[in-house]
Amino acid sequence: MACECDMSNSSRHTGERRTLIVGLVCLDIINVLDNYPLEDTDTRVQDQLWERGGNAANTSVVLAQLGVKTEFIGTLADSTLSRLMVEDFHKYGVLIDHCIYHNNCKPPMSCIIVNSSSGTRTILHSNRSLPEVMYEDFELLNLNNYTWIHFEGRNVEEVLKMSERVVMHNGQFIESHDRIQISLELEKPGLKPSFCKLLPKADVVFLSKDVAKESGFQNGEECVLKFSKDVKPGAVVVCAWGELGAWAVGPNGEVVHSPAFPPAKIEDTVGAGDTFNAGVIYALSRGSSILEAIMQGCKIAGDKIGHQGFKIDA
C-alpha cells in the first residue's frame, strides 16, 4: 500500500497515468480468399498472414496509435511464437511490462477466413492450455498509474474481482478526474448470465451484436436500451452492429446512432469491433459526447477494414 501512495504522487506529477487494457493476445493465422471455401476441398488462398491478434491486444495497438499512452496486460506462452506478438506491441509502443509468461503452454491461436468478396471474417479460435489473467496478477499493478482500465469480459469471476478492486480504489477520491474510468467489453456469446455481475461495475459497457442476438435483441437500439437497465446509473452502453454502425445510450436515456463509414473496398474486418472500441474509449476519455464517440469509433473502424491489419491513419 505504501508503494501505491508513493507512485501516485510521482505518476500524477510526471503526467504518466495511462490506459490499461486487460485481456487476450493470440496468434491470428489469416487466410484471405475471394470466396468462402467448400468443405472437403483443397483451396489456394490469395494470402496467408501470421499476425498478432486478440481483442484486448487489437484495442491496445489502435489506442497507442491515437497517441494514448497504453499498457496491455495479458498472458503469454513462453514460446517462440509469442515473439511475434511481443514485437508487434513494441512496434506500436504498447507497454507490456506486466504481462505474465507461462511455461509449457501453447499460445492461443485463431485460424481466420477472410472472404474478400463479402467482407466477412470467420474465426476458429483455440486456447488449449494458456491460463487467463488472474486477480493475483492484476493485484500487483499500481492502480495510481492508470486513468482508464478496459476489461475484456472473459473469465468473469476474475474480472469481477479486478473491477471491484478498481471500484474500491476509486472510492478514495472525491474528484471524478482522479477516478479510473472502467470499460468492459462483452463480446463472446455463452457467458450469460454470469456476465451480468460485471455490468454494474463499468462506466462504459460494449456489447457485441452476437451477445445482443443471444439475448434476443434484433438491433442495437433495443440492445442498448434493455442493457441500460442493468448497468450502474450514469453508465454508457454501446452496441456496434457491423455495416449498420453503432448505437449507444447514456445517463439521459437518449439513444444515439452513428452510421458505419465503409471504405471503398472492404479488405479485412478482423478486429473491426476492437478498433471501434478503441475509438470510443479515446473520444470519451477526451470529453467527447456519446454520439461523437461512437462516430469516432465507426470512422476509425471503417478506416481499419479498408486495409489489412491495424495500422491506422491517426
Q: Which residues bind ligand ADP (CB under 6 A)?
A: 119, 187, 208-209, 240-243, 245-246, 260, 262, 266, 269, 272-273, 276, 298, 301-302, 305
Nearest distance in Å: CB 305, ligand ADP: 6
- The candidate with the shortest Cα–Cα distance to 279, out of 17, 61, 91, 62, is 62
Nearest distance in Å: CB 302, ligand FRU: 16
- Reading the block at residue 294, the C-alpha cell is 461512437
Nearer to ligand FRU, 58 or 155 (CB): 58
> Binding residue for ligand FRU (CB under 6 A) from 106, 125, 213, 311?
125
Residues 254-273 that bind ligand FRU (CB under 6 A): 270-271, 273
- SS3 for 134-166 is CHHHHHCCCHHHEEEEEEECCCHHHHHHHHHHH
- Reading the block at residue 210, the C-alpha cell is 452476437
Nearer to ligand FRU, 9 or 118 (CB): 118
Asked if 274 interacts with ligand FRU (CB under 6 A), we say yes
Nearest distance in Å: CB 206, ligand FRU: 12
- The candidate with the shortest Cα–Cα distance to 32, out of 313, 303, 269, 312, is 269
Nearest distance in Å: CB 108, ligand FRU: 8
**Residue 159: strand pairing partners:** none
Q: Which listed option, ligand ADP, ligand FRU, none, makes contact with residue 262 (CB within 5 to 8 Å by class)?
A: ligand ADP
- The candidate with the shortest Cα–Cα distance to 223, out of 234, 235, 208, is 208
Q: Which listed option, ligand ADP, ligand FRU, none, makes contact with residue 125 (CB within 5 to 8 Å by class)?
A: ligand FRU
- Per DSSP (E only), the strands in 66-120 are 70-73, 75-77, 100-102, 109-115
Q: Could you give the CA distance from residue 306 to residue 186 in angstroms, rounded to a whole number?
A: 25
Q: Could you give the CA distance from residue 15 to residue 191 in angstroms, rounded to a whole number?
A: 37
Q: Which listed option, ligand FRU, ligand ADP, none, makes contact with residue 209 (CB within 5 to 8 Å by class)?
A: ligand ADP
Residue nearest to ligand FRU (CB): 53
Residues 21-60: x/- map of binding to ligand FRU (CB under 6 A)? -----x-x------------------------xxx--x--
Nearer to ligand ADP, 54 or 119 (CB): 119
Whose grid coordinates read 457467458? 191
Label residues 119-158 b or e (16+ Cβ within 10 Å = b): bebeeeeebeebebbeeebbeebebbbbbbbbbbbbbbeb
| 125, 26 contact by CB (below 8 A) | yes
Asked if 300 interacts with ligand FRU (CB under 6 A), we say no
Query: Please, where are the H alpha helices in the chain?
Result: 2-14, 55-65, 82-92, 135-139, 156-170, 209-214, 220-227, 272-285, 290-305
Residue nearest to ligand ADP (CB): 273
Nearer to ligand ADP, 200 or 242 (CB): 242
Nearer to ligand FRU, 144 or 195 (CB): 195
Instruction: Summarize as ranges the residues that interact with ligand FRU (CB under 6 A).
Output: 26, 28, 53-55, 58, 110, 123, 125, 270-271, 273-274
